[in-house]
Structure 1
C-alpha cells in the first residue's frame, strides 16, 4: 500500500522544498480548540500533522508540551477522544495526520483495535517514540494489515545494527532525533543530526525528518539542507498557548516559509 506520508514528503520535494511536520497535543486547550488548532496548522503550511494524545508519563517531552498535556488530562481527556478529534480534523484538511503516542496507551487499548479506529478516523499512521521495531511485532502486523504508516525513532547513539532494523521497519519516514534528551527549543541544533541522516541514507532510508530542538525558520532551513523534513513541536505549542489560533497561525506560516530554498 502507498504511504500518504511519503507522498506528502515527495510532493514537497517536487516543489523544490522540504516538508514541514507540525506537532500539537490533542485536547489542548480543550478538545474542540485542539481540532481548530490542528486545522489552522495545516492551513498555515504544515505538510504533515503530528498529533499527540496526552499521556500521564511523557518521558520525552519538554516542559511546554508537558504543561499542555497535563492541562488536557486535567480537563478530562480520554484516549478515545483521539479518534473523535482525528475524524473532525481529517474531514476538513487533506494533509496526512500521524498520531505520536507512547506505547502503553496503545497496548491498554488493544493494538489491533487502535489501528482499526485510527484508520477509520482518517489517520495515516503512528509515531512510536518509546518502542523499537524488535519489540513491535504486533504493531508491525497491524500496520501492514491496515496500511498505516509506522514511524520509528533513530538517535545519534543508535548502533548501525539498530539503524538497519529501523530503516527496514519504518514507513513514511524515519524520525531522526537531533539531540539526546527531551524535546524543546535549542539555540543551535546538534551537528549529530546531520551525521545520523547520512548513516540512515547508507541504510537505504529515503525519507528522514529531523525533530527535537527546531524552533525557528532558520533552523528549519538548516535542517532541510540535509534532511527531507523538519519537525517542530514546542514552538507551536508555545505559540498556541500564548497567542491562541492567531499566534499559532503566524508562527506556523513563518516556519513553513523556512522550507523554501529562498530562506537559506
Structure 2
C-alpha cells in the first residue's frame, strides 16, 4: 500500500537535521516526481519473507521516498483488524524479528530509499533497548515507528535511537488535542506520522 503524505511546511522543514535520519539525504522538496512525498507500508505480516524482499526492491525502484516495514507482533493493539489478521498469519508462518533482520541485511543495500521499522515496544524491551537499536542500525534501517509508546515515555528510546543514527518517528491523530499535538511536533526529530 502506498500513501501520499500531504506536504506541509512542518513536514518538509528539517527542524533538527542532525537527528533526521530518514530524509536527511533528500532535498527539502522530497520528490521531484510528485507534489507530495510518498511512503509505502509493507507488511511482513501478510507476505512471506521472499515476497517481502521482492516488494521492498520494487518499492525503491518506483519512487517511494520512505518504506515502512511492519514487524508482526502477537498483540498489535494500535492496528486495525486487517493488519492484526495479517500479523497472525505471518507469525503462524514463522516470521519473526530474526528472519526479518536476516532478510533486511540482504535487501537494504539494494533499496534506494530509507526503511523505517514499524514495531511495538514489548519486542524492543524483550531484546533490550540498546541491543535492539544496535541490531537495527547494523542492518541499515534508518528509523523506527513504535505506536504504543506515549510521548512521555520516549526519552530512553530516542536517546538510543539518536546514538545509533536512527530516527524515532512520533505519531499523532486528527483527534489528538492541539496542545498535545504541538508537544509531539516539538519533540519530533524529523516528521510526525499522522495516523
2:31 & 2:49 partners in 1: Cα distance?
A: 33
Hey, what does 2:11 align to over in structure 1? none
Q: Does residue 1:111 correspond to 2:125, yes or no?
A: no
Give the total of aligned pairs. 177
Hey, what does 1:102 align to over in structure 2? 120
Q: 1:57 to 1:109 in 2, by over 3 A?
A: same
Hey, what does 1:145 align to over in structure 2? 163
In the TM superposition, residue 82 of structure 1 has moved relative to its aligned partner by 2.7
| SS of equivalent residue, structure 1 residue 126 | strand
TM-score by length of 1: 0.61
1:54 & 1:9 partners in 2: Cα distance?
A: 32
2:187 & 2:128 partners in 1: Cα distance?
A: 21
**Counterparts in 2 of 1:194-205, with a 5 A limit?**
none
2:34 & 2:75 partners in 1: Cα distance?
A: 39
In the TM superposition, residue 167 of structure 1 has moved relative to its aligned partner by 1.4
Hey, what does 1:247 align to over in structure 2? none
In the TM superposition, residue 52 of structure 1 has moved relative to its aligned partner by 0.7
| SS of equivalent residue, structure 1 residue 38 | helix
Question: Could you list the per-position Cα deviations for residues 145-182 of structure 1 after superposition, in whole angstroms to 9, with x for gaps in the alignment?
Answer: 112111111112323332232112222310012xxxxx
Q: Does residue 1:84 correspond to 2:102, yes or no?
A: yes
Q: 1:86 to 1:10 in 2, by over 3 A?
A: farther
- Which of the two has higher C-alpha Rg? 1
Hey, what does 2:14 align to over in structure 1? none
Q: 1:16 to 1:68 in 2, by over 3 A?
A: closer
Contact 1:28 1:69 survives alignment (8 Å): yes
Hey, what does 1:127 align to over in structure 2? 145
- Root-mean-square deviation (CA, aligned residues, Å) is 2.0
Hey, what does 1:171 align to over in structure 2? 189
Of Structure 1 and Structure 2, the greater helix share is in 1
1:129 & 1:49 partners in 2: Cα distance?
A: 16
Q: 1:122 to 1:138 in 2, by over 3 A?
A: same
